[in-house]
């Protein structure tokens, strides 16, 4: 049984197809989300459906695979049972936990209440609606100093950098044309980062290229800026200064999904579950933890990054391990192969660092970013749609998904629906 | 000033571009919705963004046109002012009211509380989420007689017929493959119609062809079935019989948008506003009412149907009339030119009736339906995306948008957001 249909869970199930094993995959959503492109949904470049693929469609016509649209509310590792929110108890022989990470606010006041996270499709649509609505509200009103048109992003990691670049392009190109009677130069995109560099984990050269590309797009980057509090009207920094901002986006922190709390034993500081070298639990070798939910270190003892590739490779390895176990063979240690890291700053600009010290940037980096993301995007139709959208956006500078569409409910009374900004159990990836 | 960015309002503004007149267009949504394809969003064949085009993008770079994302809450025809929900009063020289129609429950108990309307993108997404969720809920549960997998549609007009056909295909093809452990033959699609025919307004031949095509897709059509009440568990008919159904869709009734109530004077029985031959108000020749909101009759005194073509032609005519008035020329009477009517029942099946008695059905009718809808769909990108989706769906039988995505909020406290199933002021088209 596999919990979570993100990169890790999907690759586990795929690796088990044809093994003869009956596989059940559980996820709180009925789709697999391709989160590396989530920021493009938030900035009106893509539709939610472009990056969401129905889980059942992936395994359609395969009776070996059972899909459950449910939230895991309990684990009984001794009895080898998983409890679902609908009251169902499912027994398992092998269990793979792959629910990824959730937003963490590090205890900073106001983050949960006033900042927008960007971890789910709902988050992306809420952010899109909110930013577009702010421009509608500003149109026809006298200019104020209230930060109505300020989007402030906290966290200079890949999500913050990619979102900042895309927001600056959305505002500077599309919204400037949409609002001829509004002085769009009033709008600001600010990126706050607590350390002295963006894109931690990248080389200094890439970090500087990212800063240059952000600055060229009008993004104001503030390094060494430590957040003290998010308020309804903006943020307060640890030096006491305040920045008014109607929209505050929190991309600074993630921690392991709360499902990890249901696993007995000590956790890593970020909530991740410590595992043996084959990604199983030391006390329960029939239970595997992979992806962001697992605390795994590399040869030098450093924790593996929270990347899709770690989850994908962990899923494939776990499927192989289970096949070995079913055949009575010993399992092997998981070893992560670095395929490189990349981040895009906007139209025609990206940084990529490949194994062996190869670095790409600018247009070449951007094209390689496009190709890699298209190849990993699941489903031919989604690839075609994303390609059409990208080609359209590239040729016309348009972002046609800038529709405000909220209050899509009614919110069902069941716990399948996560509350805004509160992490909940069983959230995939 | 134009209120409503549906077919009527958009064509009015387009007709005034280049006239030198300053035009303001107000809509409660920030997009123009191509409602003839709404049922395909509800049945997971298209994304909302495929049929929604940002109003500002349509008039992008045209400083003659001002767009307001707002709800009209008051009209003062004497002072020639329109009040917006944000408190703003806008003065006008000419006013065009084009807010279309809203769902009407004809006083039948339970429709507003328990039935799904299909008039807006929110309606379509709610219905899509609800139907997909019912199948998820049924999976793994013992079969019951509670109508969990029954979708009951009330109203055999074009919307009911097209939705019934598409639902039957979604269930019989896609969901049957998605749920290999569920007996999908338990699912029912019922279409209730109070009269003795579907597609009122079409010829008997087309009506019979529609019945045949629906039946071939497994839709159970009940003619002469009069609804007495919608309950949380299904419906009760006037003969006392009950049909359990988890999903009840109401497509039986529309009436003029409540904005019409703000216009002084008597209304037609469906709430539409009576107008002079040039579509202006008899007492206020500077105010025009077009599309579904207007009570207009043809040469034989019969009311014009509630069709996109009536609104489109009304908008074009009104733009011409305003140009004439500005030039000091007399206005001419509006005359509706029937371009035909069509409805599709599903893959490879449609009925079309062209002027002069030409009738198409089957594959030819369906292909003509595809072409007409593509031509009228606004925006090249949307056309390409819809075409890709249709081609994909046709070749693979897939409907890739079957993602459950609800609770997209938070619901703003302002009145821009309509309540579920309650008609509200200023809703476009």
Contact check, Cβ <8 Å, A412/B133 = yes
Residues of chain B in contact with residue A88, where contact means CB-CB under 8 angstroms, are 140
As a whole number of angstroms, the distance between CA B315 and CA A233 comes to: 43
Residue spans in chain A of domains classed CATH 3.50.50.100: 111-252+340-396
B351-380 as b/e, with b when 16 or more CB fall inside 10 Å? bbbeeeeeebbeeebbebbbebbeeebbbe
**Beta-strand relationship, A287-289 and A294-295:** unpaired
3-state secondary structure of B408: strand
CA A399 to chain centre: 21
A385 touches chain B (CB under 8 A): yes
Enumerate the β-bridge partners of residue B247.
B151
Comparing C-alpha atoms, which of B217, B28, B47, B219 is closest to residue B124? Answer: B47
Q: How much is the pLDDT for B368? A: 84
What is the Cα–Cα distance from B158 to B202, expressed in whole angstroms?
Answer: 10
Q: Is A19 on the interface with B (CB under 8 A)?
A: no
Interchain contact, A405 vs B136, CB within 8 Å: no
DSSP category for residue B172: I
Q: What one-character DSSP code corresponds to residue A186? A: G
Interface of B with A in 171-190 (CB under 8 A): 174, 177-181
Residue A302: its pLDDT value, please? 87
Closest-CA residue of A relative to B56 is A178
Chain A: residue whose CA lies nearest to B85: A137
- Give, in degrees to the nearest 5, the angle at Cα A35 between A33 and A36: 140
Q: Report how far apart, in Å, the C-alpha atoms of B163 and of each of A89, A115, B168, B265 are.
A: 37, 40, 8, 37
Q: Are A210 and A161 in contact (CB under 8 A)?
A: yes
The domain made up of B111-252+340-396 is a member of CATH 3.30.390.10: no
Please report the pLDDT score of residue A11 as a whole number.
94
- In chain B, residues with a C-beta closer than 8 Å to the C-beta of A121 are 403, 405
Find the residue in A nearest to B420 (Cα).
Answer: A410
Cα–Cα distances (Å) from B335 to A33, B6, B284, B304, B310, in that order, read 51, 20, 20, 10, 10
β strands within B262-301, DSSP E:
273-274, 287-289, 294-295
A192 DSSP 8-state letter: E
* Residue A10, SS3 per DSSP: helix
How would you class B246 by CB atoms within 10 Å of its CB: exposed for 0-12, middle for 13-18, buried for 19 or more? buried
Q: CATH 3.50.50.60 in chain B, residues?
A: 2-28+70-103+255-326
Residues in Cβ contact with A302 at an 8 Å cutoff, skipping those fewer than 6 apart: none
In sequence order, the β-bridge partners of residue B288 are B96, B280
DSSP per-residue string spanning A101-126? EEE--TT-BTHHHHPBP-SSHHHHHH
pLDDT in tens, chain A (429 residues): 999 999 999 999 999 998 989 999 999 999 999 999 999 999 988 888 888 888 998 888 788 999 999 999 999 999 999 999 988 899 999 999 999 999 999 999 999 999 999 999 999 999 999 999 999 999 877 777 689 999 999 999 999 999 999 999 999 988 998 998 899 899 999 999 999 999 998 999 999 999 999 999 999 999 999 999 999 999 999 999 999 999 999 999 889 999 999 999 999 999 999 999 999 999 999 999 999 999 998 888 888 988 999 999 999 999 999 999 999 999 899 999 988 898 999 888 899 998 888 888 888 888 888 888 887 776 666 777 777 777 766 766 666 666 676 656 443 332 222 323 332 333 322
Q: Residue A322 and residue A334: Cα distance in Å, rounded? A: 13
Catalytic positions of B are 162
Q: Which of A122, A180, A389 sits opposite B408 (nearest CB)?
A: A122
Checking A387-392 for CB contacts under 8 A at 24+ apart, the result is A388/B381, A388/B384, A388/B385, A388/B388, A389/A45, A389/A46, A389/A47, A389/A50, A389/B381, A389/B385, A390/A45, A392/B381, A392/B384
CA gap A358, A370 in Å, rounded: 18
Judge whether A317 is closer than 8 Å to chain B, CB to CB: no
Q: How many CB atoms lie within 10 A of CB A181?
A: 9
Catalytic residue among A93, A141, A162, A242: A162
- pLDDT tens series, chain B, 429 aa: 999 999 999 999 999 998 989 999 999 999 999 999 999 999 988 888 888 888 998 888 788 999 999 999 999 999 999 999 988 899 999 999 999 999 999 999 999 999 999 999 999 999 999 999 999 999 877 777 679 999 999 999 999 999 999 999 999 988 998 998 899 999 999 999 999 999 998 999 999 999 999 999 999 999 999 999 999 999 999 999 999 999 999 999 889 999 999 999 999 999 999 999 999 999 999 999 999 999 998 888 888 988 999 999 999 999 999 999 999 999 899 999 988 898 999 888 899 998 888 888 888 888 888 888 887 776 666 777 777 777 766 766 666 666 676 656 443 332 222 323 322 333 322
* B276 close to A (CB below 8 A): no
Minimal-distance CA residue of chain B relative to A89: B140
Question: Cβ contact (<8 Å) for A408 and B407?
Answer: yes
Give the distance from residue A391's alpha carbon to the nearest chain B alpha carbon, in angstroms. Answer: 10
Was domain B2-28+70-103+255-326 assigned CATH 3.10.20.30?
no
> Quick one: closest CA in A to B68, which residue?
A136
Q: How far apart are CA B358 and CA A227, in angstroms?
A: 70
B87 touches chain A (CB under 8 A): no
**Do residues B296 and B311 touch, judged by C-beta distance below 8 A?**
no
CB contact under 8 A, A177 and B61: yes
Cβ within 8 Å, pair B409-A412 = no
Q: Which of B392, B402, B406 sits opposite A417 (nearest CB)?
A: B406
Closest CA to B172 of B158, B184, B186: B184
Buried b (16+ CB within 10 A) or exposed e, A276-293: bebbbbeebeebbbbbbb
Task: Supply the DSSP string of A136-159, one letter for each residue.
Answer: HHHTTSPP-SS-TTEEEEE--SHH
pLDDT for residue B402: 63
DSSP state for residue B187 in the 8-state scheme: -
Contact A398 B381 (CB under 8 A): yes
Q: Smallest Cβ distance to B381: which of A88, A181, A392?
A: A392
Lookup: tokens for A337: 């192969």
Of A60, A66, A405, Cβ closest to residue B181: A66
Instruction: Name chain A contacts of B420, Cβ cutoff 8 Å.
Output: 409-410
Please judge whether A398 and B57 are an interchain contact, meaning their C-beta atoms are less than 8 angstroms apart.
yes
Query: How is residue B68 written in tokens?
Result: 């307001």
Backbone angles phi, psi at B100, to 5 degrees: 70, -145
Q: What is the ipTM of this complex?
A: 0.86
Residue A186 has phi, psi (to 5 degrees) of: -65, -25
Q: How would you list the strands of the sheet with B23-27, edge to edge? A: B65-69, B23-27, B2-3, B95-97, B287-289
A403 vs B: CB within 8 A: yes
Judge contact between A415 and A85, C-beta under 8 A: yes
Q: How many CA within 13 A on the CB side of residue A278?
A: 18
A142 touches chain B (CB under 8 A): no
């Amino acid at each position: 049984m596999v919990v979570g249909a993100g990169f890790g869970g999907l690759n586990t199930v795929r690796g088990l197809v044809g093994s003869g094993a009956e596989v059940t995959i559980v996820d709180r959503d009925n789709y697999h989300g391709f989160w590396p492109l989530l920021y493009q949904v938030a900035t009106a470049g893509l539709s939610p459906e472009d990056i969401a693929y129905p889980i059942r469609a992936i395994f359609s016509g395969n009776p070996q695979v059972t899909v459950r649209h449910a939230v895991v509310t309990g684990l009984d590792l001794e009895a080898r049972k998983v409890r679902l929110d609908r009251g169902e108890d499912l027994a398992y022989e092998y269990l793979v936990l792959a629910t990824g990470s959730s937003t963490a606010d590090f205890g900073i006041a106001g983050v949960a209440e006033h900042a927008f996270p960007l971890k789910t499709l709902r988050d992306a649509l809420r952010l899109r609606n909110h930013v577009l609505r702010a421009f509608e509200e500003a149109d026809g009103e006298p200019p104020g100093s209230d930060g109505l048109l300020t989007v402030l992003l906290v966290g200079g990691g890949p999500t913050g950098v990619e979102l900042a670049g895309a927001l600056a392009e959305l505002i500077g190109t599309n919204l400037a044309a949409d609002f001829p009677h509004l002085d769009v130069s009033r709008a600001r995109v600010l990126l706050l980062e607590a350390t002295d560099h963006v894109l931690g984990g990248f080389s200094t050269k890439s970090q500087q290229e990212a800063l240059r590309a952000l600055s060229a797009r009008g993004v104001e980057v503030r390094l060494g800026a430590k957040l003290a509090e998010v308020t309804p009207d903006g943020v307060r920094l640890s030096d006491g200064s305040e920045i008014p901002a109607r929209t505050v986006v929190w991309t600074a922190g993630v921690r392991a999904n709360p499902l990890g709390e249901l696993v007995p034993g000590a956790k890593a500081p970020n909530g991740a579950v410590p595992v043996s070298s084959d990604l199983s639990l030391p006390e329960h070798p029939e239970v595997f933890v992979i992806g962001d939910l697992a605390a795994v270190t590399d040869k030098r003892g450093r924790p593996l990054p929270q990347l899709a590739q770690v989850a994908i490779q962990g899923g494939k390895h776990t499927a192989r391990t289970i096949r070995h176990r079913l055949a009575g063979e010993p399992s092997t240690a998981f070893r992560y192969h670095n395929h490189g890291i990349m981040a895009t700053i906007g139209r025609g600009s990206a940084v990529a660092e490949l194994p062996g010290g190869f670095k790409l940037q600018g247009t070449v980096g951007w094209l390689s970013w496009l190709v890699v993301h298209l190849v990993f995007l699941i489903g031919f139709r989604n690839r075609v749609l994303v390609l059409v959208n990208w080609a359209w956006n590239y040729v016309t500078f348009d972002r046609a998904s800038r529709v405000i569409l909220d209050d899509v409910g009614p919110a069902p009374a069941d716990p399948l629906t996560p509350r805004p900004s509160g992490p909940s159990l069983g959230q995939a990836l």
